[in-house]
Amino acid sequence: MTSRELGNVALKVLGIYILLLSIQYIPIIVSYSDLQRSQSANFITPAFIASQVLVLCLYVGFGLWLFVRTESLSTKLFKDSGVSDTRLTPNMFQAVLFSAVGIFILANSVADVGSLVHRAAVIHQNEQNFSRDFWIHNLESIIALAVKLPLGFYLFFGSEGISHLWSRLRPMARKPED
């Protein structure tokens, strides 16, 4: 199995996982829509429901895109000698895993983006001083996204470099103790 083939498998599994993550938003949207329609919950705004629909669409879109585009993504991400080898090198395996972790981080950031969009809409509706209030109330989420998004992209696109660096930093073979 080549690194590209392993990448294909890992990316397809991640695409399916992301699609499965999207399922959790369907009952949330339906129940919040029912609550909002019955007007028993004043805190549920149309912007909140729209933000949940946006998150659902982003999960479904990203999961489908990942599932459909695995071949071209793995071609771009992993160099392949073209020779099928059942022995993967540790560097090849680590590169695939780093890419998978990067996609996982990016996929989990989608919900945070949707939440920020909702909060921005609510603050914009209710507050006159939108800019200051938005930053004050959402600083933790903004910092988390500022760390997650670059880290996810770096792990996804820089997986081979990270794997190479990792192999240089830690010795691959240890001497057996006598």
pLDDT digits 0-9 by tens, 95-154: 878 888 888 888 888 777 877 877 777 766 666 666 766 777 777 788 888 898 999 899
- Please state the rounded mean pLDDT for residues 15-31: 82
Domains of the chain: 3-168 (1.20.120)
39 has a pLDDT exceeding 70: no
Question: What integer pLDDT is reported at residue 173 of this predicted model?
Answer: 44
Report how far Cα 29 is from the mean position of its chain's Cα atoms.
21
177 has a pLDDT exceeding 60: no
**Distance between CA atoms of residues 154 and 148, nearest Å:** 10
The band of 178, judged by pLDDT with boundaries at 50, 70 and 90, is very low
Instruction: Tell me the pTM.
Output: 0.55
Neighbours of 165 (CB within 10 A): 11
Pick 113 or 83 by higher pLDDT. 113
75 has a pLDDT exceeding 70: yes
